[in-house]
Chain A
Amino acid sequence: MDVTIEMADDVAVLIPSGNFVASETESFNAQIAKLVENMIRYMLLDMSRINFMDSSGLDAIMSVNKQVTNGGGIFACAALHDNVQKVFRVTWADQKIPIVATRSAGLQMIQELRADKAQ
């Protein structure tokens, strides 16, 4: 699975493509580990290029969320296809990770959450 990483100010926008499944999570986790090592505290996962995600993919996302939030950062997911959104909904993961419709909405939400934290 290819993961494109773009920086929007100090927010890392991760854009994986293909299927987010058990055979692919190792490479995703390795790339996330590098970002965490580099003290990237704000991450937005743009899922617009993910056509299929299984519970292993969800596990990987939950792990990123934990790493980022435990470090005082903010993590969110954006642009989920219907079948991917269903995995979040059925497992109640959408109650634990912020999910927004678009990448721009995600970036805006992260900035708003940062402002709230700073107060």
Chain B
Amino acid sequence: MEERILTMEFEAHFRNVDIARAALQGISAECFGKDTERAADITMAANEAMNNAVEHSGSSKVKLEVAWDEKGLRVFVSNAGPPFDPVTAAAELNQEDMLERDEGGYGLYLIRELVDRFEYEYNDSRNIWKLYKIA
């Protein structure tokens, strides 16, 4: 299967995250099978990355790039906010932190736990969150 790519850029509103998530649900179902755990995992992780961009980045727009083939699926979520490294922040969270939390901070932990690889790049004044799920 040749690599296929979907790109969308949207204004930073949660309602737009809902639409982007629906597209991603379709793609992840095609890549991993409908109602599979792997499809649900990458959809959830990407949803959290988009939510974070909307809520915390200060950027007026969020960009989603999805690429998939028989080897798996990768999702890049980028914004033009100030630099923020989510991979380092997520790596600092542990089970004790999560057990002590009442509210907040679950998103980064979910991404870390649900993807096979989580990378970050700051390039051309953009934060790029890179999420990978292997088929």
Contact = CB atoms under 8 A, between A and B. Distances in A.
B103 A66 contact: yes
B92 to A, nearest CB: 16
Interface in A49-104: 52, 54-56, 58-59, 62-63, 66, 82-83, 86-87, 90-93, 95-96
Interface in B74-123: 95, 98-99, 101-104, 106-107, 109-110, 113-114
Contacts of B51: 22, 54-56
B40 interface: yes
| Chain A at the B interface: SS class | helix
A23 interface: yes
B38 to A, nearest CB: 12
Interface residues of B, number: 27
Contacts of A52: 21
Interface stretch (B1-9, B12-20, B64-72): B12-20
Interface residues of A, number: 23
Contact of B15 (A23, A59, A62): A23
Interface of A: 19, 21-23, 52, 54-56, 58-59, 62-63, 66, 82-83, 86-87, 90-93, 95-96
Contacts of A54: 44, 47-48, 51, 107
B18 A19 contact: yes
| Chain B at the A interface: SS class | helix
Contacts, number: 62
16 contacts: A21-B17, A21-B18, A21-B21, A22-B14, A22-B17, A52-B21, A54-B51, A55-B106, A59-B104, A63-B102, A83-B44, A86-B40, A90-B110, A91-B109, A92-B95, A92-B98
Nearest to B104: A59
A58 B47 CA distance: 14
A62 B95 CA distance: 17
Contacts of B101: 62
B36 to A, nearest CB: 10
Q: Which of A23, A83, A86, A91 has the most CB of B within 10 A?
A: A91
Contacts of B14: 21-23
